Structure 1
């Protein structure tokens, strides 16, 4: 089933619905992770599980107000404590994801973020 987010995203960047998740993953990864996607997935088939769960939460957003909850769930995922994900940042960038969400999803009742930041002044739940 295609969500409104997915339809807008695919239209905005000219991506087919079949390629949507992989494209969003690549677009929102930290730059050092991008060339390693296939290697990481080959080495550990569940390496990007937390990232895809984050994507699945984000595509359900009706407005930007729910982004913080999706981000908090992602930040608390057990796999984000692993060295490759926490220290080397071989994972989705919360800031990059926010930029995509901000462009695709209407602002929430609270007006969403101001100047690209969430309510607490930072998008970075990982301490970096």
Structure 2
């Protein structure tokens, strides 16, 4: 279930300095629109968008996608360290539906980050990095 798209922080000065096409792409997905987020979007996300197979993505958008297994009904629970990070303001995929599979992952950390949309790794850097680092430590222990 997707949420409504909202902007929590907007830097109008930054946006006025960008190309209109960059403003459109950047503004359409980011909850936090700051210089730091723009630089990471420009360097990490935009290159992938430029080489994306748009026909394939359109097909996915129109027809959906499925895993090779039913994530809601695993044959047995996944008992390894798991990390589920979701953006509270993610209007692309949302966060609520993920809660329903949590019981399949008894060692999971489930975190919904405020001030974060679909690119939560660049909108909530410190929190994202902290949670991923802690998860890696748990993986190393197991």
TM-score by length of 1: 0.30
More strand by share: 2
TM-score by length of 2: 0.28
Pick the structure with greater CA Rg.
Answer: 2
